[in-house]
Amino acid sequence: MVVGDFSHEKEVIIVGGGPGGYHAAIRAAQLGKEVAIIEKNAIGGICLNNGCISSKLFAEAAKRMRDAADLSSFGVTASSLSFDMSALQERKETIITNLTKGVKALLNKYHVEMIKGEATFLADNQIGVERGESFEKYQFEQAVIATGATYTRPDSVSMEHKRILDPSTLYKLKELPEHLIVYGSDYQAVEAASTFSALGSQVTFAYKDELPYDPAVTKELLRLMKKHKIKVIKETSLEECSPGDNDITVSFLSDSKEKTVTASHLYISCTQKPNTPSLRLDACGVNTDEYGFIPITPTTETNQPHIFAVGDVTPNSELAVESIKQGKVAGERMAGEKSEWDPYAIPQVTHAIRPIASVGLTAESARKEGFDVAVGNFSLSANGYAALTNKKEGVIKIISEKKTDVILGFQAIGEGSVEMISQAVQSLEMGARDEDITYPFYPHPSFNEAWLEAAESLKNKAVHRV
Protein backbone atom coordinates (compact mmCIF):
# COMPACT_ATOMS: atom_id res chain seq x y z
CA MET A 1 0.00 0.00 0.00
CA VAL A 2 1.26 3.45 -0.96
CA VAL A 3 0.80 6.04 1.79
CA GLY A 4 0.76 9.72 0.88
CA ASP A 5 3.49 11.82 2.49
CA PHE A 6 1.35 14.90 3.03
CA SER A 7 -2.23 15.74 3.96
CA HIS A 8 -4.70 17.31 1.57
CA GLU A 9 -6.53 20.20 3.19
CA LYS A 10 -10.31 20.68 3.12
CA GLU A 11 -12.57 22.94 5.14
CA VAL A 12 -15.27 20.26 5.38
CA ILE A 13 -15.09 16.49 5.02
CA ILE A 14 -18.30 14.47 4.73
CA VAL A 15 -17.97 10.74 5.41
CA GLY A 16 -20.81 8.95 3.64
CA GLY A 17 -22.68 9.85 0.45
CA GLY A 18 -26.24 8.90 1.37
CA PRO A 19 -29.16 11.35 1.71
CA GLY A 20 -27.83 12.87 4.94
CA GLY A 21 -24.27 13.13 3.66
CA TYR A 22 -24.89 14.64 0.25
CA HIS A 23 -27.46 17.13 1.58
CA ALA A 24 -24.90 18.26 4.18
CA ALA A 25 -22.25 18.57 1.47
CA ILE A 26 -24.40 20.60 -0.90
CA ARG A 27 -25.79 22.97 1.77
CA ALA A 28 -22.29 23.64 3.12
CA ALA A 29 -20.99 24.25 -0.41
CA GLN A 30 -23.95 26.53 -1.23
CA LEU A 31 -22.96 28.62 1.77
CA GLY A 32 -19.35 28.97 0.63
CA LYS A 33 -17.55 26.03 2.23
CA GLU A 34 -14.89 23.96 0.44
CA VAL A 35 -16.26 20.42 0.71
CA ALA A 36 -15.16 16.87 -0.04
CA ILE A 37 -17.38 13.81 0.33
CA ILE A 38 -15.99 10.31 0.91
CA GLU A 39 -18.05 7.27 -0.09
CA LYS A 40 -16.75 3.70 -0.25
CA ASN A 41 -19.69 2.31 -2.23
CA ALA A 42 -22.14 4.31 -4.34
CA ILE A 43 -23.19 7.95 -4.06
CA GLY A 44 -26.80 8.08 -2.86
CA GLY A 45 -26.30 5.49 -0.14
CA ILE A 46 -28.59 2.60 0.74
CA CYS A 47 -31.76 4.68 0.24
CA LEU A 48 -31.11 5.43 -3.40
CA ASN A 49 -29.24 2.27 -4.40
CA ASN A 50 -30.94 -0.50 -2.42
CA GLY A 51 -33.63 0.87 -0.14
CA CYS A 52 -36.29 3.56 -0.48
CA ILE A 53 -36.23 3.80 -4.26
CA SER A 54 -36.37 0.04 -4.83
CA SER A 55 -39.13 -0.65 -2.31
CA LYS A 56 -41.28 2.27 -3.44
CA LEU A 57 -40.93 1.30 -7.10
CA PHE A 58 -42.18 -2.19 -6.23
CA ALA A 59 -45.00 -0.66 -4.18
CA GLU A 60 -45.97 1.50 -7.15
CA ALA A 61 -45.99 -1.59 -9.40
CA ALA A 62 -48.29 -3.28 -6.86
CA LYS A 63 -50.60 -0.24 -6.89
CA ARG A 64 -50.74 -0.36 -10.68
CA MET A 65 -51.67 -4.05 -10.52
CA ARG A 66 -54.51 -3.34 -8.07
CA ASP A 67 -55.76 -0.44 -10.19
CA ALA A 68 -55.60 -2.55 -13.36
CA ALA A 69 -57.65 -5.27 -11.69
CA ASP A 70 -60.38 -2.67 -11.14
CA LEU A 71 -60.50 -1.32 -14.69
CA SER A 72 -63.89 -2.88 -15.35
CA SER A 73 -65.40 -0.49 -12.78
CA PHE A 74 -64.63 2.31 -15.24
CA GLY A 75 -65.88 0.57 -18.36
CA VAL A 76 -62.40 -0.52 -19.43
CA THR A 77 -61.92 -4.14 -20.48
CA ALA A 78 -58.49 -5.78 -20.49
CA SER A 79 -58.15 -9.30 -21.85
CA SER A 80 -55.21 -10.30 -19.66
CA LEU A 81 -52.92 -8.97 -16.95
CA SER A 82 -49.46 -10.26 -16.05
CA PHE A 83 -46.40 -9.16 -14.11
CA ASP A 84 -42.83 -9.29 -15.44
CA MET A 85 -40.24 -9.21 -12.65
CA SER A 86 -37.30 -8.87 -15.03
CA ALA A 87 -38.85 -5.80 -16.67
CA LEU A 88 -39.38 -4.15 -13.28
CA GLN A 89 -35.80 -4.93 -12.22
CA GLU A 90 -34.54 -3.40 -15.45
CA ARG A 91 -36.56 -0.25 -14.80
CA LYS A 92 -35.27 -0.15 -11.23
CA GLU A 93 -31.66 -0.17 -12.42
CA THR A 94 -32.39 2.58 -14.94
CA ILE A 95 -34.02 4.77 -12.28
CA ILE A 96 -31.16 4.22 -9.81
CA THR A 97 -28.56 5.00 -12.47
CA ASN A 98 -30.32 8.21 -13.50
CA LEU A 99 -30.88 9.38 -9.92
CA THR A 100 -27.26 8.66 -9.03
CA LYS A 101 -26.11 10.67 -12.02
CA GLY A 102 -28.39 13.47 -10.83
CA VAL A 103 -26.84 13.54 -7.35
CA LYS A 104 -23.33 13.50 -8.81
CA ALA A 105 -24.27 16.37 -11.12
CA LEU A 106 -25.46 18.41 -8.14
CA LEU A 107 -22.24 17.71 -6.24
CA ASN A 108 -20.21 18.76 -9.28
CA LYS A 109 -22.33 21.90 -9.69
CA TYR A 110 -21.33 23.04 -6.21
CA HIS A 111 -17.72 21.91 -6.64
CA VAL A 112 -17.91 19.16 -4.02
CA GLU A 113 -14.99 16.80 -4.50
CA MET A 114 -16.09 13.14 -4.55
CA ILE A 115 -13.57 10.72 -3.10
CA LYS A 116 -14.14 6.97 -3.42
CA GLY A 117 -12.62 4.95 -0.58
CA GLU A 118 -12.98 3.86 3.04
CA ALA A 119 -12.42 6.52 5.68
CA THR A 120 -10.89 6.22 9.14
CA PHE A 121 -10.15 9.01 11.59
CA LEU A 122 -6.49 9.56 12.40
CA ALA A 123 -7.05 12.51 14.77
CA ASP A 124 -9.77 15.03 15.61
CA ASN A 125 -8.76 17.03 12.52
CA GLN A 126 -7.40 14.38 10.21
CA ILE A 127 -8.88 11.49 8.27
CA GLY A 128 -7.34 8.75 6.17
CA VAL A 129 -8.85 7.28 3.02
CA GLU A 130 -7.93 3.85 1.74
CA ARG A 131 -8.38 3.46 -2.00
CA GLY A 132 -7.15 0.11 -3.23
CA GLU A 133 -3.39 0.15 -2.84
CA SER A 134 -3.18 3.83 -1.88
CA PHE A 135 -3.82 5.66 1.39
CA GLU A 136 -4.36 9.41 1.41
CA LYS A 137 -4.57 11.79 4.37
CA TYR A 138 -6.95 14.73 4.62
CA GLN A 139 -6.81 17.60 7.08
CA PHE A 140 -10.18 19.16 7.94
CA GLU A 141 -11.69 21.95 10.00
CA GLN A 142 -15.14 20.39 10.26
CA ALA A 143 -16.51 16.94 9.49
CA VAL A 144 -19.85 15.17 9.17
CA ILE A 145 -20.24 11.47 9.88
CA ALA A 146 -23.01 10.07 7.67
CA THR A 147 -22.00 6.43 7.31
CA GLY A 148 -25.47 5.01 7.93
CA ALA A 149 -26.26 1.57 9.31
CA THR A 150 -26.41 -2.07 8.19
CA TYR A 151 -29.38 -4.41 8.49
CA THR A 152 -28.79 -7.15 11.06
CA ARG A 153 -30.93 -10.27 11.15
CA PRO A 154 -32.14 -11.72 14.46
CA ASP A 155 -30.05 -14.54 15.89
CA SER A 156 -32.77 -17.10 15.17
CA VAL A 157 -32.47 -16.41 11.42
CA SER A 158 -28.90 -15.21 11.05
CA MET A 159 -27.92 -17.74 8.37
CA GLU A 160 -27.35 -16.74 4.76
CA HIS A 161 -29.54 -18.60 2.29
CA LYS A 162 -31.14 -17.73 -1.05
CA ARG A 163 -34.61 -18.44 0.39
CA ILE A 164 -34.14 -16.13 3.42
CA LEU A 165 -34.62 -12.48 2.53
CA ASP A 166 -34.35 -9.14 4.33
CA PRO A 167 -34.75 -5.46 3.32
CA SER A 168 -31.38 -5.53 1.52
CA THR A 169 -32.17 -8.57 -0.65
CA LEU A 170 -35.97 -8.71 -1.14
CA TYR A 171 -36.08 -6.20 -3.99
CA LYS A 172 -33.19 -7.86 -5.83
CA LEU A 173 -35.19 -11.02 -6.57
CA LYS A 174 -35.16 -12.09 -10.20
CA GLU A 175 -38.27 -14.24 -9.91
CA LEU A 176 -41.54 -13.64 -8.07
CA PRO A 177 -41.84 -15.84 -4.94
CA GLU A 178 -44.57 -18.45 -5.21
CA HIS A 179 -45.29 -18.18 -1.47
CA LEU A 180 -43.65 -15.50 0.67
CA ILE A 181 -43.71 -15.61 4.45
CA VAL A 182 -43.23 -12.11 5.86
CA TYR A 183 -42.19 -11.99 9.51
CA GLY A 184 -42.00 -8.62 11.24
CA SER A 185 -44.09 -5.81 12.68
CA ASP A 186 -42.40 -2.74 11.20
CA TYR A 187 -43.55 -0.69 8.21
CA GLN A 188 -41.12 -2.49 5.90
CA ALA A 189 -42.75 -5.84 6.67
CA VAL A 190 -46.22 -4.41 6.03
CA GLU A 191 -45.02 -2.97 2.70
CA ALA A 192 -43.41 -6.27 1.70
CA ALA A 193 -46.58 -8.28 2.42
CA SER A 194 -48.83 -5.76 0.65
CA THR A 195 -46.58 -5.41 -2.39
CA PHE A 196 -45.85 -9.05 -3.16
CA SER A 197 -49.47 -10.06 -2.61
CA ALA A 198 -50.55 -7.61 -5.32
CA LEU A 199 -47.80 -8.76 -7.67
CA GLY A 200 -49.06 -12.34 -7.49
CA SER A 201 -47.34 -14.12 -4.61
CA GLN A 202 -49.22 -16.07 -1.97
CA VAL A 203 -48.35 -14.21 1.25
CA THR A 204 -48.38 -15.21 4.90
CA PHE A 205 -47.86 -12.24 7.24
CA ALA A 206 -46.74 -13.13 10.76
CA TYR A 207 -45.80 -10.78 13.55
CA LYS A 208 -45.10 -10.83 17.28
CA ASP A 209 -45.23 -7.22 18.48
CA GLU A 210 -48.04 -4.74 17.92
CA LEU A 211 -48.03 -3.03 14.55
CA PRO A 212 -46.79 0.59 14.75
CA TYR A 213 -50.15 2.21 14.04
CA ASP A 214 -53.21 3.64 15.73
CA PRO A 215 -55.61 0.79 16.69
CA ALA A 216 -58.23 1.94 14.16
CA VAL A 217 -55.61 1.98 11.41
CA THR A 218 -54.34 -1.47 12.38
CA LYS A 219 -57.89 -2.85 12.38
CA GLU A 220 -58.53 -1.52 8.87
CA LEU A 221 -55.16 -2.78 7.61
CA LEU A 222 -55.81 -6.31 8.86
CA ARG A 223 -59.29 -6.22 7.33
CA LEU A 224 -57.78 -5.25 3.98
CA MET A 225 -55.17 -7.99 4.25
CA LYS A 226 -57.91 -10.54 4.80
CA LYS A 227 -59.86 -9.13 1.86
CA HIS A 228 -56.79 -9.48 -0.35
CA LYS A 229 -56.19 -13.07 0.82
CA ILE A 230 -53.09 -12.40 2.90
CA LYS A 231 -52.99 -14.95 5.70
CA VAL A 232 -52.21 -13.23 9.02
CA ILE A 233 -50.69 -14.92 12.06
CA LYS A 234 -50.80 -12.53 15.05
CA GLU A 235 -48.76 -12.46 18.26
CA THR A 236 -46.44 -15.22 17.20
CA SER A 237 -42.70 -15.77 17.51
CA LEU A 238 -40.48 -17.36 14.89
CA GLU A 239 -38.81 -20.33 16.55
CA GLU A 240 -36.98 -22.08 13.72
CA CYS A 241 -36.57 -22.11 9.96
CA SER A 242 -35.26 -24.88 7.75
CA PRO A 243 -34.40 -23.81 4.20
CA GLY A 244 -34.05 -26.40 1.48
CA ASP A 245 -33.32 -26.44 -2.23
CA ASN A 246 -36.94 -25.87 -3.25
CA ASP A 247 -38.69 -24.41 -0.20
CA ILE A 248 -38.34 -23.26 3.40
CA THR A 249 -40.20 -24.50 6.47
CA VAL A 250 -40.82 -22.05 9.32
CA SER A 251 -42.01 -22.90 12.82
CA PHE A 252 -44.03 -20.31 14.74
CA LEU A 253 -45.09 -20.39 18.38
CA SER A 254 -48.41 -18.81 19.43
CA ASP A 255 -50.03 -19.31 22.84
CA SER A 256 -47.73 -22.30 23.48
CA LYS A 257 -48.93 -23.89 20.23
CA GLU A 258 -46.53 -24.54 17.39
CA LYS A 259 -47.55 -23.83 13.82
CA THR A 260 -45.50 -24.85 10.79
CA VAL A 261 -45.68 -23.08 7.43
CA THR A 262 -43.84 -24.15 4.28
CA ALA A 263 -43.22 -21.56 1.58
CA SER A 264 -40.84 -20.71 -1.22
CA HIS A 265 -39.23 -17.76 0.63
CA LEU A 266 -39.03 -16.12 4.04
CA TYR A 267 -38.67 -12.36 4.54
CA ILE A 268 -37.44 -11.31 7.98
CA SER A 269 -37.45 -7.81 9.49
CA CYS A 270 -34.10 -6.61 10.79
CA THR A 271 -32.62 -4.20 13.27
CA GLN A 272 -29.98 -1.70 12.26
CA LYS A 273 -26.35 -1.73 13.36
CA PRO A 274 -24.49 1.58 12.92
CA ASN A 275 -21.53 1.66 10.56
CA THR A 276 -19.10 3.07 13.13
CA PRO A 277 -16.56 0.34 14.06
CA SER A 278 -14.25 0.91 11.08
CA LEU A 279 -14.19 4.70 11.58
CA ARG A 280 -11.86 4.54 14.61
CA LEU A 281 -13.88 7.19 16.43
CA ASP A 282 -11.56 6.91 19.44
CA ALA A 283 -8.95 8.72 17.36
CA CYS A 284 -11.14 11.80 17.00
CA GLY A 285 -12.77 11.59 20.44
CA VAL A 286 -16.38 11.16 19.24
CA ASN A 287 -18.54 9.26 21.72
CA THR A 288 -21.01 6.49 20.90
CA ASP A 289 -23.79 4.90 22.92
CA GLU A 290 -23.82 1.26 24.03
CA TYR A 291 -25.03 0.15 20.58
CA GLY A 292 -22.44 2.12 18.62
CA PHE A 293 -24.76 4.96 17.52
CA ILE A 294 -23.48 8.54 17.76
CA PRO A 295 -25.61 10.80 20.01
CA ILE A 296 -26.18 14.28 18.60
CA THR A 297 -27.62 17.60 19.72
CA PRO A 298 -30.51 19.47 18.02
CA THR A 299 -27.78 21.13 15.93
CA THR A 300 -26.45 17.67 14.86
CA GLU A 301 -23.20 18.20 16.78
CA THR A 302 -21.46 15.29 18.48
CA ASN A 303 -19.57 15.72 21.74
CA GLN A 304 -16.86 17.24 19.51
CA PRO A 305 -18.47 20.53 18.41
CA HIS A 306 -16.63 20.62 15.06
CA ILE A 307 -17.71 17.08 14.15
CA PHE A 308 -21.34 16.43 13.23
CA ALA A 309 -23.33 13.24 12.66
CA VAL A 310 -26.51 12.70 10.66
CA GLY A 311 -28.82 9.91 9.56
CA ASP A 312 -28.92 6.24 10.51
CA VAL A 313 -25.56 6.41 12.28
CA THR A 314 -27.35 8.40 15.02
CA PRO A 315 -29.90 6.83 17.40
CA ASN A 316 -32.65 9.20 16.34
CA SER A 317 -34.00 7.92 13.05
CA GLU A 318 -34.19 5.18 10.45
CA LEU A 319 -36.00 7.38 7.92
CA ALA A 320 -34.46 9.20 4.97
CA VAL A 321 -36.68 12.23 5.62
CA GLU A 322 -34.92 12.83 8.94
CA SER A 323 -31.47 12.12 7.50
CA ILE A 324 -32.11 14.77 4.86
CA LYS A 325 -33.22 17.34 7.45
CA GLN A 326 -30.26 16.58 9.70
CA GLY A 327 -27.89 16.83 6.73
CA LYS A 328 -29.19 20.27 5.82
CA VAL A 329 -28.88 21.41 9.43
CA ALA A 330 -25.29 20.16 9.65
CA GLY A 331 -24.34 21.93 6.42
CA GLU A 332 -25.92 25.17 7.60
CA ARG A 333 -24.40 25.01 11.10
CA MET A 334 -20.91 24.51 9.67
CA ALA A 335 -21.42 27.69 7.66
CA GLY A 336 -22.52 29.63 10.74
CA GLU A 337 -26.27 29.54 10.14
CA LYS A 338 -28.68 29.16 13.08
CA SER A 339 -30.36 25.89 12.17
CA GLU A 340 -31.83 23.02 14.20
CA TRP A 341 -33.83 19.82 13.71
CA ASP A 342 -36.68 18.56 15.86
CA PRO A 343 -38.08 15.02 15.57
CA TYR A 344 -41.54 16.06 16.82
CA ALA A 345 -43.38 16.19 13.49
CA ILE A 346 -41.74 13.52 11.34
CA PRO A 347 -44.24 11.93 8.93
CA GLN A 348 -44.43 8.14 9.01
CA VAL A 349 -45.64 6.58 5.75
CA THR A 350 -46.32 2.98 4.76
CA HIS A 351 -47.20 2.03 1.18
CA ALA A 352 -49.57 -0.79 2.10
CA ILE A 353 -52.68 -2.12 0.32
CA ARG A 354 -53.99 1.35 1.01
CA PRO A 355 -51.38 3.94 2.06
CA ILE A 356 -50.89 4.62 5.77
CA ALA A 357 -49.67 7.96 7.14
CA SER A 358 -49.27 9.35 10.63
CA VAL A 359 -47.60 12.18 12.50
CA GLY A 360 -47.64 13.42 16.07
CA LEU A 361 -49.55 11.77 18.90
CA THR A 362 -52.25 9.12 18.82
CA ALA A 363 -55.21 9.54 21.15
CA GLU A 364 -53.72 6.93 23.47
CA SER A 365 -50.24 8.46 23.60
CA ALA A 366 -51.72 11.96 24.05
CA ARG A 367 -53.74 10.80 27.06
CA LYS A 368 -50.62 9.21 28.54
CA GLU A 369 -48.92 12.59 28.26
CA GLY A 370 -51.76 14.16 30.24
CA PHE A 371 -53.82 15.76 27.48
CA ASP A 372 -57.60 15.85 27.55
CA VAL A 373 -58.19 14.97 23.92
CA ALA A 374 -60.85 15.26 21.27
CA VAL A 375 -60.83 12.75 18.41
CA GLY A 376 -62.17 13.51 14.96
CA ASN A 377 -62.92 10.47 12.77
CA PHE A 378 -63.99 10.34 9.18
CA SER A 379 -64.50 7.29 6.98
CA LEU A 380 -63.44 7.46 3.35
CA SER A 381 -66.60 5.54 2.50
CA ALA A 382 -68.43 8.87 2.92
CA ASN A 383 -66.06 10.81 0.65
CA GLY A 384 -67.34 11.55 -2.86
CA TYR A 385 -63.98 11.31 -4.61
CA ALA A 386 -63.25 7.99 -2.89
CA ALA A 387 -66.55 6.72 -4.23
CA LEU A 388 -65.89 7.73 -7.84
CA THR A 389 -62.33 6.30 -7.77
CA ASN A 390 -63.66 3.11 -6.12
CA LYS A 391 -61.16 3.47 -3.26
CA LYS A 392 -63.52 3.83 -0.34
CA GLU A 393 -61.57 1.81 2.24
CA GLY A 394 -59.95 3.77 5.02
CA VAL A 395 -60.31 6.10 7.97
CA ILE A 396 -58.91 9.54 8.81
CA LYS A 397 -58.27 10.59 12.43
CA ILE A 398 -57.25 13.94 13.86
CA ILE A 399 -56.35 14.40 17.54
CA SER A 400 -56.62 17.75 19.32
CA GLU A 401 -56.45 19.09 22.86
CA LYS A 402 -59.94 19.98 24.08
CA LYS A 403 -58.88 22.99 26.12
CA THR A 404 -56.90 24.80 23.42
CA ASP A 405 -58.16 23.12 20.20
CA VAL A 406 -54.48 22.67 19.21
CA ILE A 407 -53.87 19.78 16.80
CA LEU A 408 -51.79 17.01 18.40
CA GLY A 409 -51.76 14.24 15.82
CA PHE A 410 -53.00 12.69 12.60
CA GLN A 411 -53.43 9.03 11.66
CA ALA A 412 -54.87 7.71 8.43
CA ILE A 413 -55.19 4.72 6.18
CA GLY A 414 -56.66 5.11 2.73
CA GLU A 415 -56.08 6.65 -0.66
CA GLY A 416 -54.83 10.23 -0.34
CA SER A 417 -53.27 9.70 3.10
CA VAL A 418 -49.74 10.45 1.91
CA GLU A 419 -50.89 13.73 0.37
CA MET A 420 -52.83 14.72 3.52
CA ILE A 421 -49.82 14.07 5.77
CA SER A 422 -48.05 17.20 4.49
CA GLN A 423 -50.96 19.33 5.71
CA ALA A 424 -50.86 17.51 9.05
CA VAL A 425 -47.10 18.09 9.45
CA GLN A 426 -47.53 21.78 8.70
CA SER A 427 -50.42 22.00 11.17
CA LEU A 428 -48.31 20.48 13.95
CA GLU A 429 -45.30 22.67 13.16
CA MET A 430 -47.35 25.89 13.24
CA GLY A 431 -49.31 24.91 16.36
CA ALA A 432 -52.55 25.00 14.39
CA ARG A 433 -55.99 24.79 15.96
CA ASP A 434 -58.94 23.01 14.40
CA GLU A 435 -60.30 26.26 12.95
CA ASP A 436 -57.06 26.71 10.99
CA ILE A 437 -57.95 23.48 9.18
CA THR A 438 -61.70 23.98 8.80
CA TYR A 439 -61.67 27.63 7.64
CA PRO A 440 -59.91 27.33 4.21
CA PHE A 441 -61.53 26.11 0.99
CA TYR A 442 -60.83 22.57 -0.24
CA PRO A 443 -61.18 21.38 -3.84
CA HIS A 444 -64.33 19.40 -4.55
CA PRO A 445 -64.47 16.54 -5.10
CA SER A 446 -61.16 15.43 -3.57
CA PHE A 447 -59.66 13.12 -0.98
CA ASN A 448 -58.57 16.27 0.90
CA GLU A 449 -62.18 16.84 1.91
CA ALA A 450 -61.77 13.83 4.21
CA TRP A 451 -59.05 15.79 6.07
CA LEU A 452 -61.48 18.72 6.34
CA GLU A 453 -64.36 16.59 7.63
CA ALA A 454 -62.15 14.76 10.12
CA ALA A 455 -61.24 18.18 11.54
CA GLU A 456 -64.90 19.27 11.50
CA SER A 457 -65.89 16.11 13.36
CA LEU A 458 -63.74 17.21 16.32
CA LYS A 459 -66.73 19.41 17.19
CA ASN A 460 -69.45 17.35 15.51
CA LYS A 461 -69.65 19.67 12.49
CA ALA A 462 -68.91 17.11 9.76
CA VAL A 463 -71.84 16.92 7.34
CA HIS A 464 -71.01 13.58 5.72
CA ARG A 465 -69.89 11.67 8.78
CA VAL A 466 -71.85 8.41 8.93
Mark whether 464 is an active-site residue.
no
247 marked as part of a ligand binding site: no
Q: Among 63-67, 159-163, 222-226, where is mean pLDDT lowest?
A: 159-163
Instruction: Taking residues 218-247, report their average pLDDT.
Output: 95
Residue 145 has pLDDT above 70, yes or no: yes
Round to whole Å and give the CA distance between 129 and 48: 23
Q: What percent of the chain has pLDDT over 90?
A: 92
Tell me what pLDDT residue 3 has.
Answer: 59
Check residue 371 and report its DSSP letter.
-
309 marked as part of a ligand binding site: no
Tell me what pLDDT residue 7 has.
Answer: 80
Q: What percent of the chain has pLDDT over 70?
A: 98
Residue 55 β-bridge partners: none
pTM beyond cutoff 0.85: yes
Tell me what pLDDT residue 299 has.
Answer: 97
pLDDT digits over 154-166, tens only? 887 877 899 999 9
190 marked as part of a ligand binding site: yes
Residue 78 has pLDDT above 70, yes or no: yes
Contact 204, 261 (CB under 8 A): yes
Which amino acid is present at 97?
T
DSSP-derived 3-state class of residue 362: coil
Q: Where are the beta strands (DSSP E) in 87-148?
A: 113-116, 118-123, 126-131, 134-145
56 marked as part of a ligand binding site: yes
Tell me what pLDDT residue 1 has.
Answer: 54
Tell me what pLDDT residue 162 has.
Answer: 93
All domains in the chain, ordered by first residue: 2-151+273-343 (3.50.50.60), 154-269 (3.50.50.60), 354-459 (3.30.390.30)
Instruction: Taking residues 355-372, report their average pLDDT.
Output: 97
255 marked as part of a ligand binding site: no
Check residue 227 and report its DSSP letter.
H
Tell me what pLDDT residue 88 has.
Answer: 98
- Cis amide bond preceding 445, omega within 30: yes
Residue 424 has pLDDT above 70, yes or no: yes
187 marked as part of a ligand binding site: yes
CA distances from 400 to 263, 347, 430 (A): 45, 17, 14
Tell me what pLDDT residue 216 has.
Answer: 96
Q: Which residues contact 319 (CB under 8 A, 6 or more apart)?
A: 346, 348
Catalytic residue among 8, 228, 351, 444: 444
